[in-house]
Structures are given as structure tokens and as C-alpha cells.
Amino acid sequence: MWRKVATSAVSIIVIVFLPITLFGLMLPINDYEAQGMSGLADCDGPGAVMVIIGPSLAVYAAGAIYYALSLKGQRRSVLVVLCAMLMVAAGGKAWAAYRETTRPMHQRHCAEAR
């Protein structure tokens, strides 16, 4: 009984986070470079991306682990692969946002904004 309730709760959370994750994946890390202006630092772009992508990354990692440990058969493999794909996509976006914040130009121009 409790496993059915837990699986339903995890599935609802994973489904609710799908549009949030897709929105975070569509956000540009540097708005200026997305508009074609190079050489400008966007001080709040990487932070905004991380606010959305960070929780999504945690939800899909936890979902993949939960599905891998609790479900059996083909249903398990499909759900684990879907969660893992979204986790890898969100992780790539989080890594790109981190790389943007560690660029010397970003650190130089955004130091007084912190």
C-alpha cells in the first residue's frame, strides 16, 4: 500500500517538474550573447538558470534512484532512462551556468553586484 502511494507521489512530482525543467533548459545563460552581443557579462543570467535547474536536477536524480530501486521490469527501465535523460540535460545546463560564472570577464564585471 505505502509503495503505491510513494510511487504515485514521486510520479506526480516528476511530472510537475517537467515543464519547469524544460523552461530552465530554454533559458539563455547569457542574454547578451543570445542576442548576438559578444563581450558583455550577464550578472544575473547564470543565477536565474541555476534557481530553476538546481531543484530540477535534484528531483530527477532522486526520481531515477527511486524508480531504479523500487520498480521492476520494463516500466522501471523506461522511467529510469527518462529521468536520467532529463538529469543529464539539466546537469549540462547547470555546468554551463557554472562555467559562465567562473569566466574572468564575469567575475570582473559582476564583482560589485554581489
pLDDT tens-place string over residues 40-58 = 788 888 888 999 999 999 9
Asked whether residue 114 is assigned to any structural domain, the reply reads: no
Cα 37 to Cα 21: distance, rounded to the nearest angstrom: 26
Asked whether residue 23 is assigned to any structural domain, the reply reads: yes
What is the arithmetic mean of pLDDT over 17-31? Answer: 92
Cα four-point dihedral sign 47, 52, 57, 59: positive
Asked whether residue 6 is assigned to any structural domain, the reply reads: yes
Asked whether residue 37 is assigned to any structural domain, the reply reads: no
Q: How many CA atoms lie within 13 A of 72 on its CB side?
A: 1
Range of the domain at 22: 2-32+42-109
pLDDT recorded at residue 40: 78
Asked whether residue 82 is assigned to any structural domain, the reply reads: yes
Where b means 16+ CB within 10 Å and e means fewer, 49-72 reads bbebbeebbebbbebbebbeeebe
Asked whether residue 10 is assigned to any structural domain, the reply reads: yes
Cα 105 to Cα 34: distance, rounded to the nearest angstrom: 17
